[in-house]
Amino acid sequence: MCPHSRGQRQPGSPRLYPRLFLLGLLASGCSEELGPERFPTTRVAGIVVEGGSPVAGGWIEFIPTDGTVGNIRSARIGRDGSFQADRVAIGENVIRLVNAPINMPGGEKLFGQFSSPVRRKIPLEPDGRLAIDLLEEWVRYHQATRPRPATHGASNFASGAEP
């Protein structure tokens, strides 16, 4: 050892080579086990409209959910509202719109969140184009989240109906 090294090993130390060799053996043995996981995907083409008018711009994202295995996929929305997304996970996906010019009040926030109410089950072989009408999705969302009227109350008792 060099007198100025203060107990540190030099890169050419004979004890270092067996350790590097052992480290190389251990690392190479794991390469087959840790490969990328394969999951079924497909190409999805479609159109996004708002009450019949195309959503002209932005991005559409497909986010696997409810046990569906896959990666988030995104595609640009064209001026005519059309899109084509590759390698979309087969199964249930949340569909989110990013930087899309949505006219309805609160629409950009509602459809731009990761918990967007737009969900579609993507089959292995899609039959036709995926059509998403944001106005229909907005109505469906508000009907599902609207409070239900009580099934019994003072008005039922006044009419003689039993609870």
Contact between 79 and 55 (Cβ < 8 Å): no
pTM of the full predicted structure?
0.67
Higher pLDDT, 56 or 158: 56
- Residue 126 has a pLDDT of 79
- Per-residue pLDDT averaged across 68-88, rounded? 96
- Residue 64 has a pLDDT of 96
Using 50, 70 and 90 to split pLDDT, how confident is the model at 55?
A: very high
> Does residue 2 have a pLDDT over 70?
no
In the chain, the domains with their CATH numbers are 41-145 (2.60.40.10)
Contact between 34 and 26 (Cβ < 8 Å): no
Using 50, 70 and 90 to split pLDDT, how confident is the model at 146?
A: confident
DSSP line for 7-25: TPPPTT-TTHHHHHHHHHH
- Per-residue pLDDT averaged across 67-94, rounded? 95
Using 50, 70 and 90 to split pLDDT, how confident is the model at 76?
A: very high
Q: Is 69 helix (H, G, I), strand (E, B) or coil?
A: coil
Task: Give the best-scoring range by mean pLDDT among 25-39, 89-103, 144-158.
Answer: 89-103
- Residue 157 has a pLDDT of 46
Nearest to 126 by CA among 68, 42, 37, 53: 42
Q: How far is CA 145 from CA 28, 92, 110, 118, 140, in A?
A: 54, 21, 13, 14, 9
Q: How far is CA 129 from CA 19, 33, 46, 84, 126, in A?
A: 58, 38, 4, 10, 8
